[in-house]
Amino acid sequence: MSHLHKTTSSSPAALLTTAPPMPAPHPVSVRSRSAAHSTAFGRPRDFLGNRFIYLTVSARARGLSVGVNLNPDRLCNFDCAYCDVDRRLPLPEQTLDVDAMAEELQHTLDLVISGRIHDHPAYRSLPRELLVLRHVALSGDGEPTLCPNFSDAVEAVVHVRARGTFPFFKIVLLTNATGLDTPAVDLSLKLLTDADEIWAKLDAGTQSFMDRVNNPQVPLKHILANILTLGRQRPVIIQSMFLALNGQGPTTDELAEYLARLNELKSAGAHIPLVQVYSPTRPMARAECGHLPLKNLSDIAKLIRSSTGLPAEVF
């Protein structure tokens, strides 16, 4: 891809200002919520006694997400500044047991879809609309495509769905896009339907800023190439985390480069139905990281829409 240096429409400086010193966290979505809705988001994941399957009330899922932890070994090729996974703790599991995961998924889906999750103390006070299953997420404590038995795991989740025991549910892969070009991952993604989704991480427009935020083992140009290749085959939702580092949001120059990368992907044929704009809601291990105020996130979303024509939503 050509490397653009500036976008010409809707100057970032006109819409985005430097993040002020860290205030109390803002609500996780632009849409107004009741107090019960607001406190539901940002909670720790709830494994319900499972080894590999967990629940989370997710703003980006718009409700309840059943997660599959494909990385109990915490293997990741990013070391994001905002990561909330504490890799200093002992590993409860060394590898993913696919058969056990599939059994836990079956049991957890039954708990959710039957409505018995409402009887669990942690969910008793939540509005029922937040506890409707939105999707099953292939995610976890690292990069899911690095899971040694990724193919088996995807096949097992698809098989649980194919049994027809439950109403059809959407499968979402949350990925940093570094492994999308590996043969095993490429073949596994062909098992997904058009209703399923890939959410690919893109937090930066330059290698230098990506090094600061994600500290990756794979270069930005490789990630962009993977997003483009997949985006020409099926829709790819871009998930972009924006945070305050030492009280400062991304600079106008960095935002211009980020917008340029989105424009390059779009111009080259990537189908991007949505850009998710969000900031950390869970406690982060690094003191220099903070939540970016809602005003800044909203301004970034406006820039994306005006400069690229892509839909963008704040979560």
Residue spans of the domains in the chain: they are 12-314
Tokens 């059994």 -> residue: 103
Query: What are the C-alpha distances in Å from 219 to residues 92, 205, 216, 250?
Result: 31, 12, 7, 20
**pLDDT tens digits, 263-314:** 999 999 999 999 999 998 877 768 889 999 999 999 999 999 999 999 999 9
Topology of the domain comprising 12-314: TIM Barrel (3.20.20)
pLDDT of 40: 65
- Asked whether 103 and 35 are in contact (CB, 8 A), the reply is no
Percent of the chain at pLDDT > 70 equals 86
Among candidate residues 226, 256, 202, the one with its CA nearest the CA of residue 14 = 256
Q: Is the pTM of this model over 0.85?
A: yes
Phi, psi of 209 (to 5 degrees): -70, -35
**pLDDT tens digits, 69-100:** 999 999 999 999 999 888 888 888 889 999 99
**pLDDT tens digits, 94-129:** 899 999 999 999 999 999 999 999 999 999 999 999
Q: What is the mean pLDDT of residues 167-193?
A: 98
Query: Quick count: other Cβ atoms within 10 Å of Cβ 305?
Result: 15
Is the pLDDT at 22 greater than 70, yes or no? no
Q: What is the mean pLDDT of residues 26-52?
A: 59
* Angle at the Cα of 27 from the Cα atoms of 172 and 48, rounded to 5 degrees: 50
